[in-house]
Amino acid sequence: MFTGIVEELGEVVAIEHLGDAASATAGGAPGSAARFRLRGPVVTEDAKHGDSIAVNGVCLTVVDTADGEFTADVMAETLNRSSLGVLATGSRVNLERPMALGGRLGGHLVQGHVDGTGTIVERTPAEHWELVKVALPAALSRYVVEKGSITVDGVSLTVVDAGDDYFTISLIPTTLALTTLGIKKAGDPVNLEVDVLAKYVERLLGRGSDDLRDLDDIKEMDR
């Protein structure tokens, strides 16, 4: 679990594309998997094999670490469903370690499970911030509300305006300077993760009155 507060602006050091026959056999997404090596001295200072690190909002598992760098294997499914597939050697990335229990929750609850990708439509600079418009898939728009939270490339942000196929966010100088959102331009893809609580609420409300009555019966039995 993450908070969407980026700790470090890292860099892709190398990408090794791997065959992914298993994915095709299982009926998964076509294409190949890849092994990423990324530089991130801050996030690797206490990282070890099996730990999680969010890369542009995608939760990846650390394979190994050395000299301020870490390696992670990325499945074809992840490459096809996120913007990690367009990264190249030298690309800058947002990095965040998982939140520690008992620590401060600076952003909002972020799983690192990307729901889809959006596209930066336009950027409007202002004196002390920058307004960014992002197009998103119609299937995700119902989870995005004005003043709600959304994760863009792993950055926890507050929605300024929510439309049927877009939303806007306001970026402060710190966000522009310390994350990849400061260098993204119109036309660039971004990873999106909507608020998981909204998805749970939708799922529960959609189960119908019969299921809700069943839950009431269970509660009565437990008393």
What is the pLDDT at residue 25? 37
Cα gap 64→122, rounded to integer Å: 38
Kindly report the CA angle at 192 between 189 and 197, in degrees rounded to 5?
A: 175
Cα gap 88→94, rounded to integer Å: 14
One CATH from 1.25.40.10, 3.40.50.300, 2.40.30.20, 2.60.420.10 for 116-196: 2.40.30.20
What is the pLDDT at residue 218? 47
Q: 74-92 in b/e burial notation, b at 16+ Cβ within 10 A? A: bbbebbebbbbeebeeebb
Tell me the domain boundaries of the chain. Answer: 8-19+31-96, 116-196
What is the pLDDT at residue 100? 81
What is the pLDDT at residue 50? 92
What is the pLDDT at residue 222? 54
What's phi and psi for 81, nearest 5 deg? Answer: -100, -5
What is the pLDDT at residue 211? 54
Low-confidence ranges of the chain (pLDDT < 70): 20-31, 104, 207-223
Give the fold, CATH level 3, of 8-19+31-96: Elongation Factor Tu (Ef-tu); domain 3 (2.40.30)
